[in-house]
Chain A
Amino acid sequence: MGTIRVTDLEGVTHTVEAEPGRSVMELIYDAGLPIKAACFGCCSCSTCHVYVDPEWLDKLPPPGPDEEDILDMTAEPRDTSRLSCQITYNDALDGLHVTLAEDTRPD
């Protein structure tokens, strides 16, 4: 068990417990942080969009074609954009820092 750091839309950074094998979206959701995650992991909706701390970007496998298609629909894509539902946590990601994008704002 490790932790990840999540900066919310108000700029507050939370430390969240992280269990290997779970998606970063699920970790954020289970921690009770506000994240819309409308399709809840189907890689269909862009409402779990996060910006990954540049220091961590290279440690992640690159987005697949499905994820790239959905990133096209995000409000403000950047080079560090990822869908948190497509990042599976493992021990090598202990300390990973992501920032919630505007797309994640619940209604």
Chain B
Amino acid sequence: MHEEPGTTVHDTDMIIVGAGPVGIFAVFEAGLLNMQCDLIDALDRPGGQCTELYPDKPIYDIPGVPVCTGQALIDNLLKQAEPFSPRFHLSQVAERLEADGERWRVTTSAGTVLRAPNVVIAAGGGSFVPKKVPLPGAEALEGRSLFYAVRRQADFAGKRLVIAGGGDSALDWTLALQPQAERLTLVHRRDAFRAAPDSVEKMRRLVEAGAMDLVIGQISALHADGTRLEAVSVRGSDGERRIECDALLAFYGLTMKLGPIADWGLELKNNLIAVDTEKFETNRRGVFAIGDICTYPGKLKLILSGFHEAALMCQQAYRYAFGKDPAFRYTTSSSELHKKLGV
């Protein structure tokens, strides 16, 4: 194995891929067994689908919690895990899994390198990635004149920009880039926006003042010279029009993809990771899968099933971390556990 010079390897007991409800609960179970956890997530905050897809929607099937929202569940799970000081590595995707002697090494898209005897994949439906423009030629333009995120605002100064979408990302970047763009056109499917009303109001004032354009319709074609975008076609109720532009920024929301995990040498069944039901271990020793991403006979994609899988997985992970069997204790009665929990 070769290493980039200056790479810092962070040692830990458990690398958890995915900071959704099940990944966070695994921190708690691992913590009771003295294991330190590091979590990796593509999103910029913990919570996974609970906070990304349904933060305000009610969940009714968490044992002992008759009803709570996705956000409340995550807030409570984070509070429960807090005594064990989990380390979060956010806005990065777990890219590579490599053996490092008896341990595993995981490298993320941000260059973070973690090493541990245990890797736990709690990646739910996969990592959240931006939805791509489904038009011919889009792939060749990506990163050159078609963007799904803004890295450096200055790159767009003095350019003719088309921004597509109707959510907060589309509106926020419209307002941020409009002052420096040569011309900015916002393209959206309908004349209603799911973005914050305040941003929509500001955008409409700019349109009224003639400082930018709003076009209602769907981008129907990309016109490019090699990797340089020249124009987009927009199809609306009044027919198709061509908008000359230097760059297209598309904010169509996020979708879930299995991503690099698919190439980690794990046995997959219908894009889910096959595990046993004693240790929730994959075909690779010390690599586990729990929650929605794992499969076994009788598997149900329920948060409560993921919690159970986390607890059992930790028993085996402990053996790999400390070379002995864990002692079984109840949080209600164990003074040792009380000390760990700070109660």
- A: residues with CB less than 8 A from B are 38-40, 42, 44-47, 68-69, 71-73, 75-77, 102-103, 106-107
Q: In the complex, what distance in Å separates the CA atom of A106 from the CA atom of B257? A: 9
Q: Which residues of B contact A40 (CB under 8 A)?
A: 301
Contact B49–A39 (Cβ < 8 Å): yes
Question: Is A102 within 8 A of B271, CB to CB?
Answer: no
Q: A73-B252, A75-B131, A107-B126 are in contact. Are A42 and B190 (CB under 8 A)?
A: no
Beyond A72-B165, A72-B167, list 16 extra A-B contacts (CB 8 Å). A38-B49, A38-B255, A42-B53, A44-B53, A44-B54, A44-B57, A45-B255, A46-B253, A47-B255, A68-B190, A68-B194, A69-B194, A72-B190, A75-B131, A76-B218, A103-B255
What residues of chain B have their CB less than 8 Å away from a CB belonging to chain A? 49, 53-54, 57, 125-126, 131, 134, 165-167, 188-190, 192, 194, 218, 252-253, 255-258, 270-271, 301
A12 to nearest B CB, angstroms? 20
Set of chain B residues within 8 Å of A72, measured between Cβ atoms: 165-167, 188-190, 194, 252-253
Q: List 5 tightest A-B contacts by C-beta distance, closest first.
A: A73-B253, A44-B53, A69-B194, A75-B134, A72-B166
Residues of A near B165 (CB, < 8 A) are: 72
Beta-carbon contact of A77 and B189 below 8 Å: yes
Complex CA–CA separation, A72 to B167 (angstroms) = 8
Q: Are B54 and A39 in contact (CB-based, < 8 A)?
A: yes
Cβ B194 vs Cβ A77 within 8 A = no
Shortest Cβ gap from B302 to chain A (Å) = 11
7 contacts between A and B (CB under 8 A): A38-B53, A44-B54, A45-B255, A68-B190, A69-B167, A72-B189, A75-B134
The answer for the CA separation of A47 and B190 in the assembled complex, in Å, is 20
B15 CB to closest chain A CB, in angstroms? 23
Complex formed: what's the CA distance from A33 to B329 in Å?
Answer: 46
| Nearest opposing residue in chain A for B237, CB measure | A79
With A and B bound together, what is the CA distance between A44 and B258 in angstroms?
19
Interfacial chain A residues near B256, Cβ < 8 Å: 38, 45, 107
- CA A77 to CA B253, docked complex, whole Å: 14
Known: A71-B189, A76-B134, A77-B218. A107 touches B257 (CB 8 A): yes
**Complex partner residue of A38 from B57, B125, B166, B218, CB under 8 angstroms:** B125
Give the docked Cα–Cα distance between A46 and B131 (Å).
11
CA distance A71 to B166 in the complex (A): 11
Q: Kindly state the separation between the CA atoms of A75 and B254 in the bound complex, as whole angstroms.
A: 11
A70 to chain B, nearest CB (A): 8
Complex Cα distance A34/B167, Å?
28
Residue numbers in A under 8 Å from B126 (CB-CB): 107
Question: Cα distance A88–B190 when bound, in Å?
Answer: 25
Complex contacts, B218 vs chain A, CB 8 Å: 76-77
A37 to B54, alpha carbons, bound, how many Å?
14
- Most chain-B Cβ atoms within 10 A of its Cβ — which of A46, A73, A103? A73
Cβ contact within 8 Å between A42 and B57: yes
Q: How far is the CA of A102 from the CA of B258 in the complex (A)?
A: 17
A42 CB contacts on chain B under 8 angstroms: 53-54, 57
Contacts of A75 in B (CB 8 A): 131, 134, 252
Which residue of B has the minimal Cβ distance to A73?
A: B253
Task: For the complex formed, measure the closest distance between the CB of B221 and the CB atoms of chain A, giving whole angstroms.
Answer: 12
Interface centre among A44, A47, A71, A102 (most CB of B within 10 A): A44
List A contacts of B54 (CB < 8 A).
39, 42, 44
What distance in Å separates the Cβ of B72 from its nearest Cβ neighbour in chain A? 16
